């Protein structure tokens, strides 16, 4: 069975930090681009970041650029999303997804191009 499992979410104050993890099981995570997406209540699911199979290139949506950092450790079958300077508008369920392509291209943010999804982890930013 092929699975992705997110962890590391929680509740933080504005300005705080979280590191999300996405761990794969059932396959070796070394040939897939991995995307992070998020969905807030009443909002469409949106792309947050993408990392290519070899760790580069990476890309970020405007919402997180300069505050979020994506990385991967293929030996651990894990991709990370380090989030800093968190804002209330970052509150959402965050999902990781494995693509059928190895490199993040111009359409990296299209959710339909990803084959496997985790269950999501809740991130709440509030005072």
Q: Model confidence at 85, in pLDDT bands (50, 70, 90)?
A: very high
Largest CA distance in the chain: 40
Q: Model confidence at 31, in pLDDT bands (50, 70, 90)?
A: confident
Centroid of chain to Cα 90: 13
Count Cβ atoms below 10 Å from residue 76 Cβ, excluding itself.
12
pLDDT, residue 13, reads 98
Block residue for tokens 């760790």 = 55
Q: Model confidence at 53, in pLDDT bands (50, 70, 90)?
A: confident
Whole-number Cα distances in Å, 70 to 41, 81, 82, 126: 24, 5, 6, 23
Whole-number Cα distances in Å, 19 to 10, 49, 69, 110, 114: 10, 14, 9, 23, 22
Please state, for a pLDDT cut of 70, what percent of the chain lies above it.
Answer: 99
Tell me the pLDDT tens digit for each residue of 106-121: 999 999 999 999 999 9
Q: Is the pLDDT of residue 75 over 90?
A: no
């Amino acid at each position: 069975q092929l699975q992705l499992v997110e962890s590391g979410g929680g509740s933080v104050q504005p300005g705080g930090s979280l590191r999300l993890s996405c761990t794969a099981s059932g396959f070796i995570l070394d040939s897939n681009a991995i995307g992070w997406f998020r969905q807030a209540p009443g909002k469409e699911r949106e792309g947050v970041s993408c990392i290519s199979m070899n760790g580069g290139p990476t890309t970020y949506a405007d919402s997180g650029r300069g505050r979020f950092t994506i990385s991967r450790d293929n030996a651990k079958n894990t991709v990370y999303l380090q989030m800093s300077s968190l804002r209330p508008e970052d509150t959402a369920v965050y999902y990781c997804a494995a693509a059928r392509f190895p490199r993040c291209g111009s359409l990296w943010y299209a959710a339909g191009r990803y084959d496997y999804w985790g269950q999501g982890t809740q991130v709440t930013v509030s005072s």
